[in-house]
Amino acid sequence: MILSFQDYLSSLQERADTFRVAVIGNEAADLDSTVSSLCYAYLSTTHYNIPAIPVINCLRSDFFLRREIHYLLLKKSINPEDLLFIDDMKLEELPATSTLILIDHNCPGISLAPYSEKVTGIIDHHYDSGLFQTAFPRIIQKVGSTATLVAQEFVKVGALIDKDVAGLLLAAILLDTLNLSQRQKKATAADNAMASVLMEICTVDGKRLFETLQQKRFDIDNMSVVDLLRRDYKEYQSGKIRYGIAVVFLDTVSLFQRDENLLRTLGEYRIGRNLEFLVVMLVAISPRFRREMVVVWDDGTAQDSLFKVLQEKGFGLSLLRDSGGSETNRSIRMYNQANETLSRKVLHPLLTKYLFT
């Protein structure tokens, strides 16, 4: 008898000591990363007969900040308490025979970098860093959502996609592509094709599902600025330079309204994370979709190169605010971002290519 998806997830705590593969999403732990990890680990366990567990790459205590994921899981009768988080796993004590599959990223973040030798598989839709050339699977394709690639794997091997799996994967595709929006240029033919397949299986109103998830995603009431920063944050190390990129669903005016000591808060966050610089990519949807950017930096060697990259690589930045700062924020600049299609997925490889070479 094939183990159902629901039974598989409810037994994860028991499986934590017997798995062979840990399927780990990226450290932003967004809906795409979470759903893709859950579904691919299930496919590995039930179809390939390789016992795998999904690991959500954030602290268990931080998961509550991702309200759209909580909503979706509970809607599917999945208890978030049953899931495994990065702080549930003692990575340094992993058995020598255990391996890692990276989902929704292809370059290990700072916390996973010490275990790079254990990476044997990758499924991702970001810029290809060129690492792990012998990994299998090694699926890195520029589509709107990693969930599209995972859905393709189910279809490719003829594995059963039940309504819960289809609903989760469809939700991730719709949210990542802004409901398959042509204007935002996020959805590819593959995303549209897989969304159609999944919609037939789970028989949901895609537009209503997207609008509900989007509303939950932008539900940030009672969250502090620090909560907002750590809700969708990725950290990178290139040579001796450590930096972070956070995505926050507010504009600069709203940030100041939420925290009258905003400049100090941003400066302290950078210092607390021991970053050379912090980029906060702001996304607002009311009264229209728009992007802004905040850059917090120390007087390090990367400063001039950083601003050259930001100004010359098509972001269309115009200065909103420039602060000399204080002891806790050496300098902060705030920009309007005219090019609305450029996201963190674009910014990070640009920084890797032009800033640190």
What the chain holds in terms of domains, given with CATH numbers, is: 5-216 (3.90.1640.10), 225-355 (3.10.310.20)
Confidence of residue 324 (pLDDT cuts 50, 70, 90): low
pLDDT, tens digit, for every residue of 255-289? 999 999 999 999 999 999 999 899 999 999 888 88
Average pLDDT value over all residues in the chain = 91
pTM comes to: 0.88
Q: For residue 340, what pLDDT is reported? A: 86
End-to-end CA, the chain: 54
| Separation of alpha carbons 285 and 287, rounded Å | 6
CA distances (Å), origin 321, targets 48, 292, 294, 325, 334: 54, 11, 9, 11, 5
Pairing of β 119-124 and β 52-55: unpaired
Q: For residues 120, 141, 169 and 215, what is the CA-based torsion angle, rounded to 10 degrees?
A: 120
| Separation of alpha carbons 45 and 49, rounded Å | 5
| Separation of alpha carbons 122 and 283, rounded Å | 29
Q: For residue 356, what pLDDT is reported? A: 63
pLDDT at 27 over 80: yes
pLDDT at 42 over 60: yes
- 290 burial (CB, 10 Å; 0-12 / 13-18 / 19+) is middle
155 touches 197 (CB < 8 A): yes
Q: What is the DSSP letter of 278?
A: E
Of the chain, the percentage scoring pLDDT greater than 90 comes to 71
| Separation of alpha carbons 161 and 43, rounded Å | 9
84 touches 54 (CB < 8 A): yes
pLDDT, tens digit, for every residue of 59-90? 999 999 999 999 999 999 999 999 999 999 88
140: CB partners within 8 A, 6+ apart: 106, 122, 123, 124, 125, 126, 128
